[in-house]
């Protein structure tokens, strides 16, 4: 034991004799918290872009892109480095794949505020999105050699607005109203500013267009329909003697808009009502729950479709734009139970979706009603048998809009209205 350690031990022992263990414990906890703040920088919110990349719509001078010449486009797509299973990246990459299939040359420009090395992410992209042929480069090394650039999130919209070469057509593919990801503050304001930076805003689904109109008085220039992977998620033939049972939930513990805490409490209430129904969790592995759950971790789309086909209902919570989960559940004959939220319920109008109050009891009771309803297998077949919009419609709408916009045609939403309509 070093002299300093020995002295510290003696001081703690003396404090324990004179003050008792509670004040000593409080002091130790405070020092530990202070050390954590210093070590992990917990006191500051995370800024997901470099401060030099922050743009101001009032001072930005946009360039005037010229119509491209006859032939195929060279399109740059700017996104953060993807992780396996990322729904936002999967949807964005669907648009890339469509443009590649139409003969256009595509390049992914990855933006990481902490690292300029994009090569280390290429293996992840090739493994989990094998259909992509696009080259992979770092956005911070420049985005020259393209006719058009598409941003995918509010940080990348700032980067594109500030770093795009002159004369390039700039687009912003908006999958959610991202200011809602934060409490009112600086990050909320930066996300809000991203819609004013002069990029051509293209919203995925009518909900975003309605919110932008309501919050900013700034509707997007176009809305493309919100699709579903109906080629992957579908009804499977069950083996004789097997029946659907249990419920399923996609856990995203660190994404508050996906309602993890609400889902945990709702499923605990549901278990009290129906302890015989198994609760399946995929995505993040959960621990410390007061009820038994089956963790599946990250699943391939094929395995996830099989899980949807085994279960009766799925809990699909979102406080902003709906996720991909409800449509996938429906396509597999599974009944999604969603929290009532402004705007989102207007996007998913499927008669088989169940909207419930955003309370633990409200969601639990809705799940209970679904699992106890008669004719589970017959209902599953009817739910899966409805015609639903596939991603092909979304891909083609976006691609056509990109092509005609770059050709100098007047901006018109794929829906034919000034800023789109219900898909």
Q: Which residues pair with 337 in a beta bridge?
A: 315, 354
Residues in contact with 211: Cβ distance below 8 Å, sequence separation at least 6, in sequence order: 177, 180, 343
Q: Are residues 201 and 289 in the same domain?
A: no
Which CATH number goes with the domain that contains 179? Answer: 3.40.50.11090
Separation between Cα atoms, residue 158 and residue 52, nearest integer Å: 10
Q: Are residues 164 and 270 in the same domain?
A: no
pLDDT digits (tens, 9 = 90+) for 13-40: 655 665 556 544 544 544 554 444 444 4
Q: What backbone phi and psi angles, to 5 degrees, belong to 272? A: -65, -35
Residue 104 lies in a domain: yes
Q: Are residues 213 and 259 in the same domain?
A: no
Per-residue DSSP letter, 139: G
Q: According to the model, what pLDDT value does residue 15 have?
A: 53
Number of domains in the chain: 2
pLDDT digits (tens, 9 = 90+) for 175-215: 999 999 999 999 999 999 999 999 999 999 888 988 999 99
Which residues span the domain enclosing 374? 247-384
Q: According to the model, what pLDDT value does residue 181 have?
A: 93
Residue 421 lies in a domain: no
Q: According to the model, what pLDDT value does residue 134 have?
A: 97
Q: Are residues 211 and 275 in the same domain?
A: no
Q: Are residues 310 and 348 in the same domain?
A: yes
Q: Are residues 299 and 341 in the same domain?
A: yes
Residue 13 lies in a domain: no
- Identify the CA nearest to 168 among candidates 76, 106, 92: 76
pLDDT digits (tens, 9 = 90+) for 109-152: 999 999 999 999 999 999 999 999 999 999 999 999 999 999 99
| CB neighbourhood size of 89 (10 A) | 22
Q: Are residues 380 and 398 in the same domain?
A: no
Residue 308 lies in a domain: yes
Q: According to the model, what pLDDT value does residue 322 have?
A: 85
Q: According to the model, what pLDDT value does residue 12 have?
A: 62
Query: How far, rounded to the nearest angstrom, does the alpha carbon of residue 365 sit from its chain's CA centroid?
Result: 27
Give the DSSP H/E element, type plus range, for residue 35. Answer: helix 21-40
Separation between Cα atoms, residue 347 and residue 91, nearest integer Å: 17
Residue 174 lies in a domain: yes
Which CATH number goes with the domain that contains 325? Answer: 3.40.50.2000
For each successive 10 residues of the chain (423 residues), what is the average pLDDT?
51 57 52 46 78 94 74 94 91 98 97 92 95 96 96 98 95 96 96 97 92 94 92 85 91 92 97 98 95 96 96 95 92 96 72 94 98 95 91 96 84 42 31
**CA distance to 103, 108, 264, 393, per residue, from 225 (Å):** 23, 23, 31, 7
Residue 2 lies in a domain: no
Separation between Cα atoms, residue 334 and residue 370, nearest integer Å: 10
* Residue environment code for 334-369, b if the CB has 16+ CB neighbours within 10 A, otherwise e: bbbbbbebebbeebbeeebbbbbebebebbbbbbbe
Q: What angle do CA 168, 148, 110 make, to 5 degrees?
A: 110
Q: What backbone phi and psi angles, to 5 degrees, belong to 229? A: -80, 70
- Which value, in Å, is the radius of gyration of the alpha carbons in the chain? 25
- Identify the CA nearest to 390 among candidates 233, 207, 177: 233
Q: Are residues 186 and 333 in the same domain?
A: no
Q: Are residues 294 and 186 in the same domain?
A: no
Q: Are residues 324 and 221 in the same domain?
A: no
Residue 344 lies in a domain: yes
Residue 378 lies in a domain: yes
Q: Are residues 126 and 180 in the same domain?
A: yes
User: How many residues are there in the chain?
Assistant: 423
Q: Are residues 380 and 399 in the same domain?
A: no
């Amino acid at each position: 034991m070093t002299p300093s350690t020995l002295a510290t031990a003696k001081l703690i022992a003396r404090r324990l004799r004179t003050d008792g263990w509670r004040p000593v414990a409080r002091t130790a906890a405070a020092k530990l918290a202070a050390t954590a703040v210093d070590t992990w920088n917990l006191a500051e919110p995370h800024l997901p872009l470099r401060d030099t990349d922050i743009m101001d719509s009032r001072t930005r001078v946009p360039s005037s892109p010229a119509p491209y010449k006859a032939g195929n486009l060279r399109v740059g797509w700017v996104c953060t480095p993807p992780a396996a299973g990322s729904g936002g990246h999967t949807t964005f990459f669907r648009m890339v794949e469509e443009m590649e299939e139409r003969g256009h040359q595509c390049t992914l420009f990855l933006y990481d505020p902490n690292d300029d090395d994009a090569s280390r992410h290429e293996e992840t992209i090739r493994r989990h999105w094998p259909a992509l042929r696009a080259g992979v480069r770092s956005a911070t090394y420049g985005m020259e050699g393209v006719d058009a650039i598409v941003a995918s999130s509010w940080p990348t919209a700032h980067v594109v607005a500030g770093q795009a070469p002159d004369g390039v057509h700039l687009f912003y593919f908006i999958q959610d109203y991202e200011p809602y990801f934060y409490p009112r503050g600086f990050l909320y304001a930066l996300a809000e500013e991203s819609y004013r930076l002069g990029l051509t805003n293209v919203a995925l689904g009518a909900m975003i267009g309605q919110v932008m109109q309501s919050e900013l008085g700034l509707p997007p220039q176009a809305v493309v329909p919100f699709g579903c992977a109906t080629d992957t998620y579908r009804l499977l033939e069950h083996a004789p003697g097997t029946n659907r049972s249990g419920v399923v939930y996609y856990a995203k513990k660190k994404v508050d808009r996906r309602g993890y805490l609400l889902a945990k409490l709702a499923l605990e209430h549901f278990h009290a009502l129906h302890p015989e129904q198994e609760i399946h969790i995929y995505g993040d592995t959960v621990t410390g729950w007061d009820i038994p759950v089956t963790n599946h971790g990250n699943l391939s789309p094929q395995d996830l479709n099989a899980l949807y086909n085994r279960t009766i209902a799925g809990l699909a919570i979102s406080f902003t734009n709906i996720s991909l989960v409800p449509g996938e559940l429906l396509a597999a004959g599974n009944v999604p139970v969603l929290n009532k939220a402004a705007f989102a319920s207007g996007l998913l109008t499927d008669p088989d979706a169940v909207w419930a109050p955003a309370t633990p009891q409200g969601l639990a009771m809705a799940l209970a009603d679904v699992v106890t309803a008669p004719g589970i297998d017959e209902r599953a077949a009817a739910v899966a048998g409805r015609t639903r919009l596939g991603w092909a419609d979304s891909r083609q709408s976006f691609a056509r809009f990109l092509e005609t916009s770059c050709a100098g045609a007047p901006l018109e939403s794929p829906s034919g209205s000034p800023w789109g309509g219900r898909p």
